[in-house]
Amino acid sequence: MKGKFIVLEGPDRCGKSTQAKLLYNYLLEQGADVVLTREPGGTPTAEKIRQILLEPELDVRPVAELLLYEASRAQHTQEKIIPALHEGKIVICERYTMSTAAYQGYARGLDLKMIETLNKIATTGLKPDLTLVFLMSDKYFSSRGEYLFSDRLEREDKEFRDNMRQGYKNLVSRTENAYLLDADTDVDMIHHKVIDLLKAHHITDLCLSVKS
């Protein structure tokens, strides 16, 4: 495919949206044709599925949840990501297959092989050209954003977050073109590391070809 597919990954509040916007603006300034999107969601149908997934009152069982994520991904991949890549665009996506393996697999305990199979079906085998995983220490978790947690909830969630974080590390170690970035450092420093990785992977070459 002519375009390049960049995925930003990591636990809640690690800075994905912050970095995605900075990267989007940087690439626009460089003259690239760039699309910023996210999962779950990214198209009208997939955003409807997102609403179900993010509705706390609904009873959604773990396997149903997994299938909803994959349904959203299948729609998003076919309707938006693949066509944009065919047109030579750079697609930046917040969360993709690795989130499902980290959350539904490592943290919730669903079978990783099953998740891998479903990811392949939903993506039709599409793989990111670059996956950037932002990991921050747990001590920063409650201080980022406007969320407030009771001690009990925070303790219960900690095991989930630890499993997910370990899951991300395992996944990065066996995924091509995937990198861990320290999300504890400041926003600009992280942004510069992101740009360095894009350059190292020749993704910024697309900007120059658009410009000339």
Ligand X SMILES: Nc1ncnc2c1ncn2[C@@H]1O[C@H](COP(=O)(O)OP(=O)(O)OP(=O)(O)O)[C@@H](O)[C@H]1O
Under the rule (CB under 5 A), what is the footprint of Mg ion?
A: 16-17
128 contact choice in Mg ion, ligand X, none (CB below 5 to 8 Å, kind-dependent): none
Could you say which of 63, 187, 200, 208 contacts ligand X (CB under 6 A)?
187
Q: How far is the CB of 133 from ligand X (least distance, A)?
A: 11
Stretch that binds ligand X, among 47-55, 74-82, 163-171, 184-192 (CB under 6 A): 184-192
For residue 74, how many C-alpha atoms fall within 13 Å in the half-sphere facing its CB? 13
Determine, following the binding rule CB under 6 A, whether residue 186 of this chain makes contact with ligand X: yes
Smallest separation, CB 11 to ligand X (Å): 7
Write each residue from 8 to 27 as x if it is in contact with ligand X (CB under 6 A), else as -, in one continuous string: ----xxxxxxx---------
Restricted to residues 135-164, the positions that interact with ligand X (CB under 6 A) are 144-145
Question: What are the phi and psi torsion angles at 5 (to 5°)?
Answer: -115, 115
**Angle between helix 62-76 and helix 44-53 axes, rounded to 10 deg:** 160
> Whole-angstrom Cα distance, residue 195 to residue 206?
13
> Which residue type, as a one-letter code, is found at position 10?
G
CB within 8 A of 107, min separation 6: which ones? 160, 161, 163, 164, 167
